[in-house]
């Protein structure tokens, strides 16, 4: 059976997506993000946290935000206590992202809340939230896809892609990431 239907991106319409703030707030954030977050300049972390809070993020205590971090919309971001966000992390939060306490997001990781419906000719935007539960570790250059929950103390290894939620206290690896072994913490 032949399928002669084709994608037609001229019909793509993203007008139903609302970022949650006015156009002017989005532009003001975009400039702030470029100057203070995506920058290689080592700005004080307290200053960065203050800016995120000013734009509506809910931020805990003892946060580390390295240089060159990209945050799409801070008003869709919740960060708990004792969280580490490494260089070149991209928080592409078209939808809510919740990062609980003691989470490590390593260098170059991507938290991706948006995708497109490949079954529709119009390639419609789909967004789903992400939740990183307490103590999980997102490895360098790894990707967490839309709608994923990384269970408490789970690990997504370097370069892996989480296309399904991660079970608590397990280590996942690969593309797509699969469960490798139990994570056992020493005292």
> Any idea where the domains of the chain sit in the sequence?
44-181
Going across the sheet that includes 64-65, the strands are 64-65, 84-85, 104-105, 137-138, 155-156, 170-174, 177-182
Longest CA–CA span in the chain (Å) reads: 60
Q: What distance in Å separates the CA atoms of residue 187 and residue 176, rounded to the nearest whole number?
A: 31
pLDDT tens, N- to C-terminus, the chain (187 residues)? 556 778 888 888 888 899 999 999 999 999 999 999 999 999 999 999 999 999 999 999 999 999 999 999 999 999 999 999 999 999 999 999 999 999 999 999 999 999 999 888 888 999 999 999 999 999 999 999 999 999 999 999 999 999 999 999 999 999 999 999 999 999 8
* The two structure tokens encoding residue 144: 């967490």
User: Of the CATH numbers 3.30.300.130, 2.60.290.11, 2.60.120.920, 2.160.10.10, which one belongs to the domain with range 44-181?
Assistant: 2.160.10.10
Q: What is the pLDDT of residues 32-79, one digit of tens each?
A: 999 999 999 999 999 999 999 999 999 999 999 999 999 999 999 999
Say if strands 97-99 and 130-132 run parallel, antiparallel, or are unpaired.
Answer: parallel
Q: What distance in Å separates the CA atoms of residue 7 and residue 66, rounded to the nearest whole number?
A: 39
Judge residue 154's burial from the number of C-beta atoms within 10 Å of its C-beta, 0-12 exposed, 13-18 middle, 19 or more buried.
Answer: buried
* The two structure tokens encoding residue 44: 């004080």
The pTM score is 0.94
Of 123, 124, 114, whose CA–CA distance to 8 is shortest? 123
Q: With DSSP H G I counted as helix, E B as strand and the rest as coil, what are the percentages for the chain, rounded to 5?
A: 15, 30, 55
Q: What distance in Å separates the CA atoms of residue 98 and residue 48, rounded to the nearest whole number?
A: 18
Radius of gyration of the chain (CA): 18
């Amino acid at each position: 059976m032949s399928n002669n239907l084709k994608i037609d991106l001229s019909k793509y319409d993203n007008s139903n997506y609302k970022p949650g703030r006015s156009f002017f707030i989005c532009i003001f954030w975009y400039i702030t993000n470029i100057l203070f977050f995506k920058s290689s300049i080592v700005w004080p972390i307290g200053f960065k946290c203050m800016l995120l809070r000013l734009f509506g993020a809910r931020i805990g205590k003892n946060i580390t935000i390295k240089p060159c971090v990209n945050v799409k919309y801070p008003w869709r971001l919740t960060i708990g206590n004792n969280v580490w966000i490494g260089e070149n992390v991209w928080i592409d939060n078209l939808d809510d992202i919740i990062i609980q306490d003691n989470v490590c997001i390593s260098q170059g990781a991507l938290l991706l809340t948006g995708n497109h419906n490949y079954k529709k000719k119009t390639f419609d935007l789909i967004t789903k939230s992400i939740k990183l539960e307490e103590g999980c570790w997102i490895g360098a250059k790894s990707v967490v896809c839309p709608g994923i929950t990384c269970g408490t103390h789970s690990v997504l290894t370097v370069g892996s892609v989480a296309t399904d939620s991660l079970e608590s206290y397990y280590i996942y690896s690969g593309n797509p990431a699969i469960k490798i072994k139990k994570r056992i913490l020493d005292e």
